Amino acid sequence: MSMHGNEAEQALTEQVVARFANTSDARLRTLMQSLVRHLHAFVSEVELTEAEWFAAIRFLTETGQMCDGVVRQEFILLSDTLGVSMLVDAINHRYATGATDTTVFGPFYIEGMPERVYGENMAFTPGVPAIVHGRVLTTEGAPVANALLDVWQTAENGMYSGQDTEQPHGNLRGRYRTDAEGRYAIRTIVPVCYPIPTDGPVGRMLEATGRHPWRPAHLHFMITAPGHSTLVTHLFNRHDPYLDSDAVFGVKPSLQVDYCERAAGDANAQQFGFEGGFREACYDFVLERA
């Protein structure tokens, strides 16, 4: 490459950056100018070909076309598989507050799922029966009464209700509230590992780069309570084979739980209405004051 070519390329970058100089919103100016610099640096570093540029345009176009406005959000999937979602998570939770660790929201949350009472079963499809219970606490260790736990997980076929239209409405989804002592209890099935959707451009990217699409088994939580920051997190099954290679980089050591085997006659069996053996996972969540 001639020195002349290189200089012209740098001059172009500076010209584009300068074109944003009059952006009145200072934050938007920072975002746009930095985006241009990094995007240009990337294109220069890899010496992008015209065919590659066109392939990238096609890829992003298909990513948008794959979104259905309900449960399929291919851009979130792209952000997740490139580690961008977890980088944003890390930057926004840099300082230890004593609150429970956060992780990716993912694209499969649905608003307005049924409100369920303490210990109510949310599983209408087969699986290993389980109870997940514990408390919601403040960073000082006081119980948070009336916190809302919005929870969602896949069925044993690896699909979420809504995504899989065969499943009954609200299957493996629900909104639970803590009692006066901050306690919650969710009757469900043990989560299973599952692949993120691979029938779109993100799946092709994983395939082309030799990456697997699997997420370790987990239960999603979004926990809200007045006066506290919203907590978006998961509980992962300890010992899942994909804990070290989550396709979306969401695993944190503090978010792993054991689903312990319990016999029909064990302490909590009667309270939660189990007729045979079941699994029990216990976890206390800690919310940061808003």
- Which of these segments, 28-36, 104-112, 115-123, 279-287, binds Fe ion (CB under 5 A)? 104-112
Rounded CA gap, 220 and 188, in Å? 12
Per-position x/- string for 176-215, each x denoting binding to ligand BEZ as judged by CB under 6 A, each - no binding? --------------------x------------------x
| Cβ-based neighbours of 93, under 8 Å, separated by 6 or more | 101, 102
Q: Would you count residue 159 as binding ligand BEZ (CB under 6 A)?
A: no
71 binds ligand BEZ (CB under 6 A): no
CB of 253 to ligand BEZ, least distance (A): 18
Judged by CB under 6 A, the stretch of 32-40, 105-113, 182-190, 221-229 that binds ligand BEZ is 105-113
**Beta strand 115-116 pairing with 260-262:** unpaired
> In this complex, which beta carbon is closest to ligand BEZ, that of residue 116 or of residue 215?
215
What are phi and psi for residue 153, nearest 5 degrees? -155, 170
Q: What is the DSSP letter of 188?
A: E
80 contact choice in Fe ion, ligand BEZ, none (CB below 5 to 8 Å, kind-dependent)? ligand BEZ
Nearer to Fe ion, 152 or 176 (CB): 152
| Contact range with ligand BEZ by CB under 6 A, out of 11-19, 37-45, 106-114, 172-180 | 106-114
With 0-12 / 13-18 / 19 or more C-beta atoms within 10 angstroms meaning exposed / middle / buried, residue 220 is: buried
Check residue 201 and report its DSSP letter.
H
Q: Residue 141 and residue 182: Cα distance in Å, rounded? A: 10
Smaller CB distance to ligand BEZ: residue 134 or 203?
203
Query: Considering the rule CB under 6 A, would residue 216 count as an interface residue with ligand BEZ?
Result: no
Applying CB under 6 A, does 74 fall inside the site for ligand BEZ?
A: no
Q: How far is the CB of 15 from Fe ion (least distance, A)?
A: 44
Residues in the chain: 290
Residue 225: is it exposed, middle or buried by C-beta count within 10 angstroms (0-12/13-18/19+)?
A: buried
Binding residues vs Fe ion (CB under 5 A)? 106
